[in-house]
């Protein structure tokens, strides 16, 4: 099993926090409207930190080896089918939870989201493709593997899911995010790879992206 030690986990958190604050300060001070977006640079920064920490841990600069240690490993085909079916279920639960249980007007969220994203192509690439990959590498890759060396699979998944829900800074989405993360963690443990979780995560974000476009009548 990949042996990321707790100190490496703390180091990643510290680096992301410190460099993230520095990056935001830089953009606000010198690049008020960075192209393509602040999120794109943040995603790239987190990726570079993960790769650098993995190189330091394993003393190996081979990119294929590095990604294998983070969680890109072979898996059985059935987990792709499970990921696809689960992503539909997760999205449906999220929709029902917000529209029926919370009685939340999703069109307001959609127009608010559109106001923050002038370029829909860049928004799609960053939020539907890159963000799920980076989040799974970090949370269900390094963080989950590290936590599981000290805790059971359940408690590792539980803590990571709390973090996953918290970092999105949305109490409305907290329950669906937590449930989705628990499934992604289960999929990660069962398949021994983060790829099925990445597929499920991408599809879930894609469904939301398309639904928002339908609400604001772009498609």
Q: H/E/C letters for each residue in 201-212?
A: HHHHHHHHHHHH
pLDDT one-digit tens code per residue, 9-38: 888 888 888 888 888 888 888 887 788 888
N-terminal to C-terminal alpha carbon distance within the chain: 46
Residue 184 in domain: yes
**For the chain, what is the domain count?**
1
- pLDDT value, residue 152: 96
Rounded to the nearest 10 degrees, what angle do helices 195-215 and 106-116 cross at? Answer: 100
- Considering the chain, what is the average pLDDT of its residues? 90
Mean pLDDT of 49-54: 92
DSSP character for 169? T
CA pair distance 139, 207, nearest whole angstrom: 22
pLDDT one-digit tens code per residue, 69-82: 999 999 999 999 99
The Cβ-side half-sphere exposure at 23, using a 13 Å CA radius, reads 17
pLDDT above 90: residue 206:
yes
- pLDDT value, residue 137: 96
CA pair distance 143, 127, nearest whole angstrom: 21
Residue 1 in domain: no
- pLDDT value, residue 213: 93
Residue 71 in domain: yes
CA pair distance 87, 200, nearest whole angstrom: 5
Place of tokens 């917000």: 98
Residue 89 in domain: yes
CA pair distance 18, 98, nearest whole angstrom: 34
Q: What's the maximum distance between 2 C-alpha atoms anywhere in the chain?
A: 52
Residue 110 in domain: yes
CA pair distance 3, 147, nearest whole angstrom: 10
Q: In terms of residue numbers, what domain contains 143?
A: 6-215
Q: Answer whether 140's CB lies under 8 Å from 185's CB.
A: yes
């Amino acid at each position: 099993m990949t042996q990321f030690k707790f100190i490496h986990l703390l180091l990643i958190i510290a680096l992301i926090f410190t460099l993230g604050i520095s990056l935001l300060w830089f953009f606000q001070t010198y690049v008020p409207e960075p192209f393509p977006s602040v999120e794109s640079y943040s995603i790239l920064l987190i990726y570079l930190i993960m790769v650098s920490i993995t190189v330091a841990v394993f003393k190996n600069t081979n990119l294929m080896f590095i990604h294998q240690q983070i969680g890109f490993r072979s898996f059985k085909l059935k987990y792709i089918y499970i990921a696809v079916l689960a992503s539909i279920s997760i999205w449906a639960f999220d929709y029902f939870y917000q529209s029926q249980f919370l009685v939340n007007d999703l069109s307001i969220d959609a127009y608010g989201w559109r106001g923050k994203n002038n370029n829909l192509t860049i928004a799609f690439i960053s939020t539907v493709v890159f963000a799920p990959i980076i989040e799974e590498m970090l949370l269900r890759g390094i963080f989950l593997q590290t936590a599981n060396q000290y805790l059971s699979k359940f408690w590792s998944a539980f803590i990571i899911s709390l973090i996953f829900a918290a970092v999105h800074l949305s109490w409305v989405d907290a329950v669906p995010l937590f449930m989705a993360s628990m499934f992604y963690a289960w999929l990660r443990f069962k398949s021994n790879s983060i790829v099925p979780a990445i597929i499920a995560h991408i599809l879930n974000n894609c469904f939301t992206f398309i639904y928002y476009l339908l609400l604001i009548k772009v498609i």
